[in-house]
Amino acid sequence: MNQAKKLQPTGGRVSLPVSEVEAVGLRVLEHAGCNSETAQVVVQHLIDADLCGVESHGIFRARQYAKEYRGGYLNPDAVPTINGEGTTTLSVDGQGGIGIRAMACAIEAGIPAVREQGVVAIAVQNIGHTGRLGAFGEMAARAGCLMIACGGGARQNWRMVAPHGGSQGMLPTNPWCLAIPGGDRGPVVLDCATSQIAGGWIYAANQVDALLPEGAIIDANGRPTQSPSDYFDGGAILPKGGVLGYGLATMGELICDAMLGPAKVECNSFILMVDTNRYRGSGAFRMAAEQILTELRTCPPAPGFDSVEIPGERETARRRKSKTLEVPLLIWKDLLKAAQGSGEG
């Protein structure tokens, strides 16, 4: 199922040039006090998510971030700092700012480190929302790296997801991302929340009066529901794949809290990068990867599917084809108000 079609907003959508959405997004963040360099990084990241079809991490979040800047939750002047350069263990301090810029800094610092050392582990702390992890996975994989990343460490403030067999939110959505250079079509990227649905979908659906997919959330009594308002009234998200999502979420919380320490703002992230060329040359790797991926693509599709897809290839293909953004009308109206400095960030 195409992720762009998960959300069926009241009021429909409006087709907009990327340049117009970018200009409005920048004004939204800058009106909230965000410095221009960070605003540029964040808005380009959000637009890229929309172009890839990942609307849960798209431009609608600009208004959320603006509100967080206005309320003092995020530091609008934060510039991430990097420690441990020249070693296999780097740390990035986001200085209380948005996690998107800090994660980008982590990958940018990790690429030369991994080429020199072969492997590097990076702790990213003191940050707000990290955006779409898949974008950072693509960056690493295009540089010849295997990347394994997870987020977590904030369950006290973000009890969103019920454990397997439970009826109350206990954990954050603790995302995982694995990325590796692929074959002829580029990197293979697995990027997912450990919850049945990303938290962003619930906020977006609530904003535009849309229903959520069946089997995604439960209400305060543990009963299945599709209404986002039930989630905000004490409900919870179900773990993805039952015990699998629950297990991965638990590991993310242990890594990003027990190992890295309590999150100061919203979360911590842990990134492991490996130079794939240390094992096989890039040519041999690419040929072997393409053979594996071709075998998977040639598998006969099951009823209801057109073909077997490779993780990450749909997003890359959508980005390549997308010329405009299809933004829910209600979200666009809210962004326009925020860009003019009216209404809450």
C-alpha 202, offset from chain centre: 14
The predicted pLDDT at position 10 comes to 79
Residue-by-residue pLDDT tens, the chain, 345 positions = 334 445 677 788 999 999 999 999 999 999 999 999 999 999 999 999 999 999 989 999 999 999 999 999 999 999 999 999 889 999 999 999 999 999 999 999 999 999 999 999 999 999 999 999 999 999 999 999 999 999 999 898 999 999 999 999 999 999 999 999 999 999 999 999 999 998 888 988 888 889 999 999 999 999 999 999 999 999 999 999 999 999 999 999 999 999 999 999 999 999 999 999 999 999 999 999 999 999 999 999 999 999 999 999 999 999 999 889 999 999 999 999 999 986 554
Residue pair 90/272 in contact (Cβ under 8 Å)? The answer is no
Within a domain: residue 344?
no
The predicted pLDDT at position 2 comes to 38
* Calpha distance 61→202 (Å, rounded): 12
Within a domain: residue 167?
yes
Which residue from 309, 234, 332, 240 is spatially nearest to 15, judged by alpha carbons? 332
* Calpha distance 334→345 (Å, rounded): 9
The predicted pLDDT at position 73 comes to 96
Which residue from 72, 95, 71 is spatially nearest to 83, judged by alpha carbons? 95
Helices 18-31 & 61-70, crossing angle to 10 degrees?
A: 10
The predicted pLDDT at position 343 comes to 56
By residue range, what is the domain housing residue 88? 3-339
pTM above 0.85? yes
Q: Which amino acid is at 52?
A: C
Within a domain: residue 61?
yes
Q: How many domains does the chain have?
A: 1
- In the sheet with 217-218, reading across from the earlier edge strand, the strands are 224-225, 217-218, 236-237
- Of the CA atoms within 13 Å of residue 328, those in its CB half-sphere come to 25
SS3 label, residue 103:
helix
Question: DSSP secondary structure string, 176-221?
Answer: EEEEEEEETTEEEEEEE-SBSS-HHHHHHHHHTT-PPPTTSEE-TT
Within a domain: residue 128?
yes
Within a domain: residue 72?
yes
Strand pairing report for 13-17 and 324-328: antiparallel
* Calpha distance 60→8 (Å, rounded): 15
Return all residues near 131 (Cβ < 8 A) that are at least 6 apart.
42, 45, 46, 49, 57, 61, 99, 100, 103
Give, in order, the Cα–Cα distances in Å from 177 to each of 49, 137, 164, 199. 15, 7, 21, 16
Residue 125 sits in a domain of what CATH number?
3.30.1370.60
Within a domain: residue 345?
no
Please work out, in degrees rounded to the nearest 5, the angle formed at the alpha carbon of residue 200 by the alpha carbons of 71 and 213: 150
Within a domain: residue 49?
yes
